[in-house]
Structure 1
């Protein structure tokens, strides 16, 4: 019934309807509201349709208009935004469809790339990029440790340079602390080398540390040449050298070393102290030049004497030479005794096993001066290679010291013609020989060979004076010994 009425009213509705409506007859026929309203119309009478229905429709339209106005006033922004979105919906829906299609096509490629990435950079695979990243991360975690390791050569160089800068008699404790710190740092660096032998960083640090140790070795060797070195300082320096340069203590392990176990350190110590002695004696060059001038004048006077065959031009000078020799012998006596004494206190020699031993540290020196010969043993129990075990360096060192003194005496003592002055100088030499004699290096007998090839009768007199002074001193020493022994016997026999 509603459909029939709708068909009858459809032409009138299309003529009177608004131009903005977009509903088709089919849509209107299927509209539930329209169908409900048409069913309601069929239930009304004709009188109600003419009188009450128009008024009801007018009231409903007015109420709907007021509702629309209130809604427009309240929600006009949302309506405008909805209208705008609705106008762009036609273009957005195809774009969304195309994007969804592209996403669907890209998912397989994304999956394959993810599988490739997982296979390439997995923990079980070997990849240089992963290794480099691991190393970078490990470096980042250990950057503090590495910075501390990189500072070790600088700290070592600072300790060594500070020790050399503050070296002196009043800075013994600070120098000792700095050198001990340097040696501890070097030991730590060597320990790092054993832990990481293939690390290029550690190898570079080792090279820098070895350069610093070479500088320290140079400073220590220079310290052995200082003036008036004490026993404690010398022992500390030798101890540091043993730690810094152990190859000096055992230079040839496979071919044998010295019997005292000193290696090359003993010879190094003696050479340094000898250099100090020579430099100290070189400070007497102004006096030596005056003595050389007197030597030249003496030679000229001797040549004139030979030419004129008279003694009118005999040499009577020698005062400057006496001053030079007196000071020379004083320095020589003090320094030579100190050198050998320090050596014997630092390097305690062990007894050398041999078929015959000399109690002196100058083997063969007194025998040569006395023209004595030792008889070789009839039969040797054990035959050894003399190159297997080397003697201590001090065994031949005093011979060099004696040669320094004898050469000087042979060159300048003939200038001193005054007998009392010459006896005074010879007495000083005798005391010097006695000082070294307490250490096993008495050279008093070798001075009997002072005359040279070009010496004359007056120079031979010096040797005779030396022999006479030696006999006097020995006789005096014998009387003092008897007097001392007599006093001791008297003290022991006296009643308590």
Structure 2
């Protein structure tokens, strides 16, 4: 609502707008009506009065009409309230019924609130009206209706008169002049019966008991009373309220017309008579006595004026007489001309027939042209149908386009012989084909289920494809859309982890949407039994989509060298499979081979790298004939033949740090084992153990070759070189390093994989694993060589 400039009302809840003319309860009732708060009928009177008041104040027509309609039929609205509302809101239809009801009610029954509603003026009018009606009833009760019958029996008439004034139980012995007016049966009817009009009262009187009246006179008296009741003045025949509010002049006119002189003269038939008589009825007695003199003087003045007019305007009257004579002569001439015209009409009719036959073809063409002109708007509507269809299709109003197409087909069936209809139908069909193309294209767009459902329903209504064909088109289109989304991440193939994660997310969302959309649109929406073809199509499409995912994983997983990323991808795929299990497509069993191969690839690569580093170091030392102390032993370390016990079963042996190349190799293998712990499929234990055993055997074989070079100087010679104490120390280092490798590194690595990662038994695994024999054979060869050349037992 508008607020005065500078006023702070209405800016916050603490300072609302004040409406001084309206109470809170009234405004609440208006809000409950405006916001359709339903209440059981009948509504409270206070609510309806509030709606009427505020509806009238704010010009809310709905509220005002609702209040007026409800109050009109409300059973508990007091007539004083109806009268007050009719006066305040100009409800004229309520005024007479409300006042009539108040006339019936005793004044003592009106409460102080009712009197306040009426006001002093209305209350005084009501009191005067009730007093007038009461006096009128009493006067009527004393009036005897004179019955004018051509033949009446004196005794019957006397009995009829006695019936009117005297109760029949008093007998007929009383003389008429000695009768004292008393309350009789008729008086009771007139004074106490709740009659609604004077006619009603007179009719009931006519039906009263008539003692002493013969059977032949009784219907005559009854008929005469009824006729007199019908001919009574209007002011006496209305209800009490009509007597109060009626026109006294009408009553006076009716009384005057009942006289024989007035009926013969017809002087009272003038429309101004009632108004003049009303004026007479309102004059005081003095002015009424002076009225005849006033009328006589006015009549004399009018007569004098009329005479003067004739004297002053006599030329006009003479001119009027001449004009009338000329007009009469003209009428005679016109009559002769009409006779001539009538005699020539037959010839004119013949000419008209000849003209009509000669212009028949022209009239037919004009008729056709007129028909075309009359139907121009309809023809234009038909010709604009193709353009409207094209516009609707291009703007996405497919429902309207189909309605127009159906209308065109109906026209074609009704008018198959009209070329224009055929042309319109062909052009409309082109628009429908464009619509078909657009709907098929929309299936390849990023639409949600409601839009896709709508598009498929439109395609169904077009009846271009069978249900199976439409289902295949839907699956193909949606899969093409998902394929496009998957192709958008091809630029991230350089990072296989990120690429595969995004690929899985897009595939999961896209394929799951396809599955739910297909089932909702084609399977669940069908009331009939779902054809096997649809189920087969759905199954094949899901298998095809799953094959694409598995092939992608198979190609990308080997490129991931981080076991942590591999674990997160497996978790992501597991969640994806769990979500697809709701539609019967749990593919978790198919993931195991992919990740087993990926784990084997990662472990094999890591172990091969560690093996390659150690064997390359050993090969380089042998090629350059480096002494073990120069590269195998850490600086300042002491060589110990005994191997100290390991402080922890899970920690690597600390004495390996004496030989850095072996320590680096062991650290690489331990890192690989830690990676295996994150994702360790039990089915590949033997393969992993074979990888580690081959690495251990290869490194041991390289160590043996290096030892042969250092000890004999020539790997082809089998004899020991003697270079003094230095040579003995180098051989000692070789011996101790080989002892650490065989007694510490090899058992720790194999137990770390079998026991600590897989929690299995080394003996049981060796029983079924062939790689353990390779390790044992290599170690035995090394031990045999040591005994034969160094006379040492590992």
Return the structure number with greater relative CO, CA threshold 8 A, min gap 6. 1
TM (norm. structure 1) is 0.46
Bigger Rg, structure 1 or 2? 2
TM (norm. structure 2) is 0.29
